[in-house]
Amino acid sequence: MLNDKTILITGGTGSFGKKFLEKIFAEYEPKKVIIYSRDEYKQSVMKLEYADKVDMSRVRFFIGDVRDKERMKRAFVGVDYVIHAAAMKQVPTCEYNPMEAIKTNIHGAQNVIDAALDCGVEKVVALSTDKAVNPINLYGGTKLVSDKLFIAANAYIGNNYNTVFSVVRYGNVAGSRGSVIPIWKKVIEDGGDTLGVTDMRMTRFWITLDEGVELVFKALRESKGGETYISKIPSFHIGDLAQAMLPGCKIDEFGIREGEKLHEVMVTKDDSFMTYEYENHYIIYPHFEWWNPERNYTRGGVKVSEGFEYNSGNNTQWLAVEELREALKHM
């Protein structure tokens, strides 16, 4: 289904976009991949980095901002699939620049929706975050609104529009710019023996870039409109990750930061009424009058029990120190 398709990635010069580019050419034969982003330097670096890794004759770089609807309409012409990865995602930055976060994360999402509908895009998959679940910071709040916009956009289906919208939700990807791993690696490389930890009780889900991209592939292949996809992945304790990276290290526990949670939540108890469990993932289905379960439900799922919550602190799968150390070797 992904062969001979033209695929555009907003924010495509980030960690996700790079991994997506690698895997789409390794596993499929896309017609064209368009990297849509606003940073010309990052695009130049990416061109050089992947010159010998993928077929660059099928890769295009398009300068543009998700805040600019007209520019996106031009970029979306002839595009089959859009992956929306562009966002302001640093929690402190969003807190201190709230209107800029709203312009990018909310207005930008609506611009993606409008451009996709007007240009006849087949499918749009929007990347979300655990911080959109019961948000306690501005970043999470903007991503919650963004998710709602993408899910609600499926209401247009059948009214001269056929674009299918879905959401993929996961937490901080291991090794990405939002992860603590690159920060600790720098401390270790500089000869440090102390790693800073906000709170030793903290847990997180472990998802790699490969797993994140595979979930997006699944959404592109299977989505029918309105789904929120969530991977079934293991959890880890933040202290165990520190010991995996620097055995015997000292810990500087400096306290939880503004906008942080002790545990990541992917599925809330309130979502349990519309959540189905599959072999390797969950799907939260929308609760709208227009949503047609006979047409849009993906077969093979089992409805979770009422009150179910998918939380990194109560997960049934855990990575111990040695398992984390092994996982780090493959990043």
Residues with a catalytic annotation lie at 131
Collapse the DSSP code of 65 into the 3-class scheme (helix H, G, I; strand E, B; otherwise coil) and give the result. coil
What the block records as the tokens of 320 is 């111990």
Secondary structure (3-state) at 16: helix
Helix 138-152, helix 108-119: angle, nearest 10: 20
275, 239 Cβ separation under 8 angstroms: no
Q: At 103, phi and psi to the nearest 5?
A: -60, -40
Of 2, 56, 59, 5, nearest to 36 (Cα)? 59
- Is residue 184 a contact partner of residue 279, using CB atoms and an 8 Å limit? no
Beta bridge partners of 108: none
Sequence-ordered list of residues with C-beta below 8 angstroms from that of 178, at least 6 positions apart, any chain: 89, 90, 172
| Assigned token pair, 122 | 């087949």
Written as one string, the DSSP assignment of 263-320 is S-EEE-TGGGGGEEE-SSEEEEPP--TT--HHHHPPTT-EEPPTT--EETTS-S-B--
Spatial CA neighbour of 296 closest among 113, 149, 165: 165
